[in-house]
Amino acid sequence: MPSTNPGAKLIAVTVLVGLGAGLGGMSLALLLHLIQHVAFGYSLDAFIGSESFLEGISGASPARRFIVLTLCGVIAGFGWWGVHRFGKPLVSIAKAVKSDDPRMPPGSTVAHALLQIVTVAMGSPLGREVAPREIGSLWAGWLAHYAGLTPAQSRIMVACGAGAGLAAVYNVPLGGAVFVLEVLLCTFDGAIIAAAFATSSIAAMVAWIGLGDGHQYHLPDFALNAQLLAWAVVMAPVFGAGARLFAKLTSAARENAPRGKALPLLSILNFALIGVLVIYYPQLAGNGKGAAGLSFEDHVSFALAGVLLVLKVTIEVSSLRAGAQGGLLTPGLTNGALLGIVLGSAWNGIWPGTPLGAFAVIGAGAFLGAAMQMPLTALVLMLEFTRFDHDFLIPSALAIAGATLTYRWLARRAAMPAAAPQQALRGLSD
């Protein structure tokens, strides 16, 4: 992309990154809907319609649910085995934005992204948000290379491509930009802020062409009260501790996941067992959006929330351990919503007056912010996901802050040498 004006060249690349990430995110989302509808046989005349994935899978026969999930295991197992066996080594977005050459391998990255979309569409409990981020970063890295941008500029574009992909698939332009600044680049430099906002906004608008300008979740009219404020402060450490445990479990599962010949067998077994569970609990299928929506709408009881929480965490960890890949954004949000209902039900027994859905909304943000260590991004995402009343920013911010601080305190304690706590106690007694 020759240009005598470096500024004009950078602006052109920024616009093209937003356009490409928007088209990529939109295409992946449409593919996801297509596979969902065909696999479970619902709304075949309108892939973007009023019938949700949860409604579609609930209407499918038990045999169909089991067969589709088992087939998902076959595709996941042999697909990721093939990527590891024959493809070039994958480069994560986090690694790319720290590299002098942030280009990602096209074949492996595209295959990796498509496998995530296909398996989530067929019922994998992992998230779909990593795939559009990878496609956005892949496009941005090669575009920056051909444009002759500096390594520093290229890294910024790769990060912006990831944020734009997130913005496109979930219609969260502000969340995509904040994700770039808080999580990927850890900066609030003015020029980078402008690039992040531009790419995410362009991507979100491009995705409207195929996905429309809607938001992810719809809430009843919740009102802020003293009970909810107090609950957010008191329960924040519980969400932080739960998020810390979840992060440890998922990290260990990823680290110990097979990449060789055992991968297909473990994957098929894992997803077949999930298929059995989905016969009885269709809310377990997919990334968790259905269960989260039911929680926010106050349609999940204390008992059901407890069962779903235990089962969802179990199958999320087991899927990662079996070698499947995917994000943890929506799964983490859903876990927080379900935990919010469990804790909120107990709280209502002492201090009644708050709908369980309100607890779910606050809990979702707290768990997500702590588990992924992105408190500001989590707050912004919850605002864009649900369009909740601005009054809910107060308990949400309090819960996210408390949960994040608790998570970090627990992480620091775990990193301390074994003798350090004993030495500290001896020092206090001297």
The per-residue pLDDT for range 328-351, each reduced to its tens digit, is 999 999 999 999 999 999 999 999
CA 343/CA 307 separation, integer angstroms: 14
Q: How far, in Å, are 35, 183, 247, 338, 401 from residue 397 at the CA level?
A: 37, 18, 21, 19, 6
CA nearest 369: which of 341, 400, 334? 400
Give the helix/strand (H/E) hosting 196. Answer: helix 190-211
How many other CB atoms are there within 10 angstroms of residue 217's CB atom?
A: 20
Q: Which residue bears the tokens 């308990």?
A: 395
Question: Any idea which fold 226-415 has?
Answer: Clc chloride channel (1.10.3080)
**Whats the size of the chain, residue-wise?**
430
With the CA atoms of 20, 25, 29 and 31 taken in that order, what torsion angle do they form, in degrees rounded to the nearest 10? Answer: 40
- Which pair of tokens denotes residue 140? 């941005």
Each residue's pLDDT tens digit, 220-238: 989 899 999 999 999 999 9
The two most distant CA atoms of the chain are separated, in Å, by 76
Residue 379's pLDDT band (boundaries 50, 70, 90)? Answer: very high
Asked whether the beta carbons of 181 and 188 are under 8 A apart, the reply is: yes
CA 90/CA 98 separation, integer angstroms: 15
How many CA atoms does the CB half-sphere of 326 hold within 13 Å? Answer: 33
CA 39/CA 119 separation, integer angstroms: 11
- Which of 1-15, 26-40, 142-156 shows the lowest mean pLDDT across its residues? 1-15
Residue 77: pLDDT above 90?
A: yes
Residue 1: pLDDT above 60?
A: no
CA nearest 396: which of 359, 348, 371? 359
Residue 87: pLDDT above 90?
A: yes
Q: How far, in Å, are 22, 180, 196 from residue 133 at the CA level?
A: 10, 11, 13
pLDDT of residue 180: 97
CA 178/CA 176 separation, integer angstroms: 6
Q: 393-415 vs 375-386: helix axis angle to the nearest 10?
A: 150
Residue 45's pLDDT band (boundaries 50, 70, 90)? Answer: confident
Each residue's pLDDT tens digit, 251-286: 999 999 999 999 999 999 999 999 999 999 999 999
Residue 293: pLDDT above 80?
A: yes
Asked whether the beta carbons of 353 and 347 are under 8 A apart, the reply is: no
pLDDT of residue 424: 39
- Which of 67-71, 163-167, 199-203, 390-394 shows the lowest mean pLDDT across its residues? 390-394
pLDDT of residue 418: 53
CA nearest 165: which of 210, 123, 135? 135
pTM: 0.93
Q: Do the domains spanning 6-211 and 226-415 agree at the CATH topology level?
A: yes
Residue 51's pLDDT band (boundaries 50, 70, 90)? Answer: confident
pLDDT of residue 78: 97
Considering Cα of 307, then 315, then 250, then 357, what sign does the dihedral take? negative
Question: Any idea which fold 6-211 has?
Answer: Clc chloride channel (1.10.3080)
pLDDT of residue 334: 97
Each residue's pLDDT tens digit, 53-73: 999 999 999 999 999 999 999
Hey, where are the domains in the chain? 6-211, 226-415
Helix (H, G, I), strand (E, B) or coil at 108: helix
Each residue's pLDDT tens digit, 394-425: 999 999 999 999 999 999 998 877 545 454 33
pLDDT of residue 395: 96
- Residue partners of 121: CB distance under 8 A and separation at least 6: 31, 32, 33, 34, 35, 36, 39, 286
Residue 83's pLDDT band (boundaries 50, 70, 90)? Answer: very high
Helix (H, G, I), strand (E, B) or coil at 377: helix
CA 119/CA 211 separation, integer angstroms: 20
pLDDT of residue 47: 63
pLDDT (average), residues 309-333: 97
Bin 352: left if φ > 0, else alpha if -120 < ψ < 50, else beta: beta
Percent of the chain scored above 90 by pLDDT? 88
